[in-house]
Structure 1
Amino acid sequence: MRHLLCLPLALWLLLAAQTSHAHALDPGYLDLRQLATNTWQVLWRKPDVNGQPMDIDAVLPSQCSEPRGPEPRSDGSAWIATWVVDCTGGLASQIITIEGLERQRNDVLLRVQPLSSSPATFRFTPDAPSLTIPERPTTWSVLGSYFQLGFEHILEGWDHLLFVFALFVLVRDPWRLVGAVTAFTVAHSITLALATLGVLHVPGPPVEAVIALSIVFLALEILNHKDGTLRLSEKYPWIVCFCFGLLHGLGFAGALAEIGVPSDDLFAALLAFNLGVEAGQLLFIGALSAVILAWRFVLPTVSKAIAPAVIPVTGYAIGCVSMYWLVERVSGF
């Protein structure tokens, strides 16, 4: 019965995917590194929006010699500005604001690296574009920030989400589905860690293309499904998911590289980001299950009427969008 709601869910997901980028996560990044008692080096990274810097600006406390930086320059993927400021009395208990962030959908990460204590990471959001630098920041701020980034990335990364949705449609047995999702998480955690540590380096465009290809594969498996017969991908989905999870992990690594990972809290950031991704996946699967359960009780007659056409139409819809992504990404090499 679970597959009866796949068609309307597929249409919603695919329409949303067409109006969004495959990876919507591209936060700003503000790094404050202390050079002397009152001297700080500032690095300000603005996201790129259609070839122009996003209309936001970092505003340091008023006692700093240059609260605003120079005009940023493009590095090909973002807009960077660096400058040095003197802040009388330091930055502790002072307010930093990301001007214009309330009009955007992006977040901004703040990395503060004092000389006398461990670095700390904080997060600006459109609802909270200002924050006060605490006297004694802790690693918990890194865990909270990167967990939420991982959570948001999986829910805004439409190609990853479409892969999970296709897996949900293909694997009918709940325990096999749990095993497949677990294998996917383990695999992407491995490659995410290796890529972030510099052990693996794979160019982004081929990775993105193969991620689209993995969704095409699942769409074909959906279309080739036969009642009463389990294909290899349905009988042992964790094998397929582990292999493709290694590739998706490289995709996550690309997004994490754009954000930046604090070297002193590297493992905390990686752990929190992975846990956030896993939480997002589980929330998505849980939401699908809850909606389908409600559909089963509310519209049983409609469910029976559309049941024969649901799986083929869903498979073709997923396949068309993933093929579009594949061609688009290969042509962009």
Structure 2
Amino acid sequence: MNRICKLCRAWLARLAYGSPLVLLLLAGTTALAYAHGVSDDDKSFIEGSAGINLIPYIYLGAKHMVTGYDHLLFLFGVIFFLYRLKDIGRYVTLFAVGHSTTLLFGVIANVHANPYLIDAVIGLSVVYKALDNLGAFRKVLGFEPNPRLAVLIFGFFHGFGLATKLQEMTLSRDGMVPNIIAFNVGVEIGQLIALSMILIAMTYWRRSPGFQRHALLANAVLMSAGFVLVGFQLSGYFFPTVA
């Protein structure tokens, strides 16, 4: 699978020559497959801690979002053609409501789902947003799915993806609810930090003469990154010993 990812990245790099932001997308393509990973140190802390630890869990939540390539690529696709802060705020809020709901509900209510399948749907969310930006649904199907509803629904899956990773660890019941709420607060903080950085980069890119020329290519790369994640997660589901 890693060899296939490297070949895809090499091919796409030739296409993306001359667009720095597109190259940034390419840099995260392989890492995208591991976007929900939790470091050994973080896992040891979570499994070894007991009681209320608000600040550490806020930090862990923010760290997970800032390094969560699938979340960032989806947000990148969501705001790609949004120019007004009001519109950006509306869509990001819908995404936040979605992933906060399933993150909290999944962990606190102990609702389980196969993490490979959830992450495959998260990969499809990236593919969807790229196709939406390319106008593919209207051209091929003759209609466009409700973008706000889609962002909310995919937000549910993104939150559930976070929940599945936390459920893979042994969480202490002592202080679990406030800790998970703190983790979710951290996720929101991390989202704001990451979104601010994306917006700054997008603002400068949009002012360049090559933006319109590279917009199509950027979304093609975004779609390819989503398919990489889908393929990796499905291979993990069907061939767990190989992944």
TM-score interval, smaller chain? 0.7 to 0.9
For normalisation by structure 1, the TM-score amounts to 0.58
- The 3-state SS of whatever aligns with 1:263 is coil
- The 3-state SS of whatever aligns with 1:264 is coil
If you compute each CA radius of gyration, which structure gives the higher value, 1 or 2? 1
Q: Is the 8 A contact 1:187 1:243 kept in 2?
A: yes
Higher percent of residues as strand: 1
- The 3-state SS of whatever aligns with 1:218 is helix
> What residue in structure 2 maps to residue 134 of structure 1?
none
What is the CA RMSD across the aligned residues, in angstroms? 2.5
Q: What are the equivalent positions in structure 2 for 1:1-333 lying under 5 Å apart?
A: 7-19=19-31, 21-28=34-41, 108-109=45-46, 111=48, 119-120=50-51, 139=52, 142-224=53-135, 237-294=147-204, 303-304=208-209, 306-333=210-237
Unaligned runs of 5+ in 1: 1-6, 30-44, 47-107, 113-118, 121-138
> What residue in structure 2 maps to residue 96 of structure 1?
none
Q: Is the 8 A contact 2:98 2:152 kept in 1?
A: yes
Cα-to-partner distance string for 1:81-140 (whole Å, 9 max, x where unaligned): xxxxxxxxxxxxxxxxxxxxxxxxxxx34745xxxxxx43xxxxxxxxxxxxxxxxxx3x
Please report how far the alpha carbon of residue 202 of structure 1 lies from its aligned counterpart in structure 2 after TM superposition. 1.3
Tell me, in whole angstroms, the C-alpha distance in 1 between the residues paired with 2:54 and 2:30.
Answer: 32
The amino acid across from 2:25 in the alignment is L
Higher percent of residues as helix: 2
> What residue in structure 2 maps to residue 78 of structure 1?
none
Tell which has more relative contact order, 1 or 2 (C-alpha 8 A, sep 6+).
2
Tell me, in whole angstroms, the C-alpha distance in 2 between the residues paired with 1:260 and 1:189.
Answer: 21
For these two proteins, the number of residue pairs brought into alignment is: 213
- The 3-state SS of whatever aligns with 1:185 is helix
Percent identity of paired positions between Structure 1 and Structure 2: 29
Q: Is the 8 A contact 2:47 2:170 kept in 1?
A: no
Residues 175 and 232 of structure 1, relative CA distance in 2, 3 Å threshold: farther
Please report how far the alpha carbon of residue 279 of structure 1 lies from its aligned counterpart in structure 2 after TM superposition. 0.9
For normalisation by structure 2, the TM-score amounts to 0.77
Please report how far the alpha carbon of residue 163 of structure 1 lies from its aligned counterpart in structure 2 after TM superposition. 0.9
Residues 294 and 312 of structure 1, relative CA distance in 2, 3 Å threshold: closer
Please report how far the alpha carbon of residue 262 of structure 1 lies from its aligned counterpart in structure 2 after TM superposition. 3.1
Tell me, in whole angstroms, the C-alpha distance in 2 between the residues paired with 1:185 and 1:279.
Answer: 11
Cα-to-partner distance string for 1:39-72 (whole Å, 9 max, x where unaligned): xxxxxx76xxxxxxxxxxxxxxxxxxxxxxxxxx
Residues 169 and 294 of structure 1, relative CA distance in 2, 3 Å threshold: closer
Unaligned runs of 5+ in 2: 1-18, 238-243
Q: Is the 8 A contact 1:190 1:246 kept in 2?
A: yes
Residues 110 and 23 of structure 1, relative CA distance in 2, 3 Å threshold: closer
The amino acid across from 2:39 in the alignment is D
